[in-house]
Structure 1
């Protein structure tokens, strides 16, 4: 696994998406983590130091795996770039068919009125 800085990670993620457009998938996983080992975190906790947690992001296409660590201060910028890449690469998804709420509500009311106006024998 290769750990990259956030910008090269996004570039490589784009390349992964391009390689898998015809056939294949890309899996992206997120996990909160600290860059320190468990022993160092425990020492910092007992000393009263603040532990900064980061977001560990991994991506794989089955052949190659890459990862990056994103700090809280860079999270917003990374998230917007990541969202742009996802929007550009998710071209195979179908648009959801939406029903107009007013039209369905009006047709339901009309059906209810017809049922009430019919005399029952």
Structure 2
């Protein structure tokens, strides 16, 4: 597994989104990882050493897979950049126009007032 630095990873992710805009999909996975084997983790825990957990990010589009690892210090900057990329690429999710609630409730009141009430016999 080849790990990219954050900026090249974000650039490649942007190009993956551009290529799959007409057809295809991009899968992004984030998970907590130490980037070490289970055996090494067990040895470090037994020795009482602290284990630094990082965020492992993988993006897959078709046969192409890229990955990066983010530490706790860089996570805020990465999250902001990642959010900007997602907002720019989600053009299919357009905001619908909302009707004013006052107008719709006034129309309902007018409609209910104009109907005659049944007479009691």
Which TM-score tier does this pair reach, normalised by the shorter chain? Answer: 0.7 to 0.9
Unaligned runs of at least 5 residues, structure 2: none
Distance change >3 Å, CA 100–CA 25, structure 1 → 2: same
For residues 63 and 14 of structure 1, the distance between their equivalents in structure 2, rounded to whole angstroms, comes to 16
Q: How does 1:1-121 map to 2 (within 5 A)?
A: 2-101=2-101, 110=109, 114=113, 118=117, 121=120
For residues 15 and 102 of structure 2, the distance between their equivalents in structure 1, rounded to whole angstroms, comes to 44
1:103: how far off?
Answer: 5.2
Q: CA RMSD in A?
A: 2.5
Larger radius of gyration: 2
TM-score, scaled to structure 2: 0.80
For residues 53 and 96 of structure 1, the distance between their equivalents in structure 2, rounded to whole angstroms, comes to 41
Distance change >3 Å, CA 105–CA 40, structure 1 → 2: farther
